[in-house]
Structure formats: C-alpha cells, structure tokens
Amino acid sequence: MTTLRLALEQYLNMRQGFGYKYQHQARRLADFITFMEQHEASTITTRLAVSWATLPVDRHASWALRLTDVRGFARHLAITNPETEVPPAGMFPPLKRAKPYIYSDAEIDALLTAALALPPAHGLRRWTYHHLFGLIAVTGMRISEAIGLHRDDVDLDEGLLTIRRSKFGKSRLVPLHPTTCVALRCYAERREAHLGSRCGPHFFVAERGGRLLHQYVHRVFWRLSREIGLRCAGDHTGPRIHDLRHRFAIQTLVGWHRDGFDVEQRLPMLSTYLGHTCVRDTYWYLSASPELMQAAVRRLDQRWEAAP
C-alpha cells in the first residue's frame, strides 16, 4: 500500500469514526489517488486536484463536489506534510440544488401501473417495483431507506416501519396508513410464495431473493419513466425517484395550509418524519412549490383581512 493510500485509509477511518458514512467520498478519493499514481505524484497540488476534478469534462455539475472532497483530504494531509497544497474554495460554481419535479396523482398511478407490466410475466419483479415505488410515494422515504428495510423492520400489525441508521446515522419510526399495510402484506405473501426459504433478510428483494441494488432500481425507474412519457429516450435529466419524496413533503404542507393548520408549528413534525437533522432542511420545501407559495399567500391575505 502506498503512503497516499495509507493516509487516505486513516482519513476515511477518522471521518467515519465521527459518524459520517463517507461512502461516495471514499470512492471518489480512491479514484483521485489512482489518478495521482498514474501521474507519479506523491504530493497533492492544486493543479493535479483541478485536473482530476474536471474529469469527465462534460460533467460540470460534479466538478465542485469532487474538488471539495480533495480539499478536505488535503487539509488533513497538510497537518503532517506542509508541502501539500490545499485547493482554494470557490474555484468552481457551487452545486445548485436540483429543482424537484412534483408528480401528479395520474403520473404516480401510471408509474405503478407500468411497473406491473415488467417481465417476467409470472415473476416477483413487477410486484417488487410496484410496491417499492408506491411505498416511497406515500411515506416520503429515501430510496436507500426503502431498499434497506429488513423484514423485521416492517411491523404490519402495528403499522410501523423502523428506519435504522439512515442518512446522518439517524434512526426513526415511520407510521403507515392501514391501506399501505394491506398493500405491503400482499407483497410479503407474494414474496414468500415465490421464494420460500430462499428469501433473504430484506423486505424488498430481487427476483432470486437478493438485495435490491441502487443502480438497478434507478435503471428500472428510468425505463418506466420513458414508457409513460416522463422522459424521452436518451434523456440524462428528468424526474427522479427522489422527487417522490419532495412530492410527499410538499403535498403534506399544502394539505396543512388548506386545512388551516399552523404550518410553522407543525414543520418540526414533518422534519422528524422525513429524517432531517435540522428543521432548516425542511424549510426548503416551503419555496419549492408554486402551489405551496400560493397557499401561504392566501393564508397571509386572510390574516390581513381579519386584522382590525
């Protein structure tokens, strides 16, 4: 193991010891070390960091993120190696948060219906994706949380999901509507009938009982999105699985506005339900939907009209 790779291992152990998952960063930094080795470089320089960060050249959106990863690692190395150059901040435009796509009820119905047509005709796959995307839509869970569910995490008698150590290492309980429990119980029965003892520990499983993988779930979603007209063939952007979570949050806030609830007071409840570490992260949804902003303006108008 080279000195740089050993230093990277120590750095990752430190970050993960502080509670950060740091999985994507670890993969990118390992790629950066390979890049340095190919250039026979043993010390990080700004020139090398920028050269690596701007690969591939057609993905400008990832440049700032990649350079940020190197900057953190370089700061760590600079403590013991003063020759290390720490790339300055602000060299690339900051990442812009993607504007969420707000699905309509009809689009979600079309997505779930299309999932039921997935091959094989008598397999479990169609039911897995139908119920997986449906659960995300009605609970606002993250995709990683949904595919990470174990069978023991799903209590359909009590109507509770246990989300264990998800983003930021937090765990939480997610209550389910009775109709959702009925749907998930139907899926569990189909899964057991299809796999029997071959079924693994996860609630949602692949055709042969293994765990669902992120990349395959996204590929299925992109395929279904094209089939129902949400994306055109060859599109690299468009509605995402994560937008189902945005839609849930915004629909919840809009519903509270319509019902006359104090949204400001209830926002911490939604923040806890979604698994946010800070209510500030949930406030972002207040400005993410024109419909939500219109509801807020109507409430404000009513208050002004009622004022003496």
φ, ψ dihedrals at 89, nearest 5°: -75, 155
CA distance 114 to 299: 39
CA distance 1 to 54: 26
Give the residue numbers marked as catalytic.
142, 167, 242, 245, 276, 285
Burial of residue 181, with CB atoms counted within 10 A of its CB: 0-12 exposed, 13-18 middle, 19 or more buried: middle
CA distance 207 to 122: 11
CA distance 107 to 133: 12
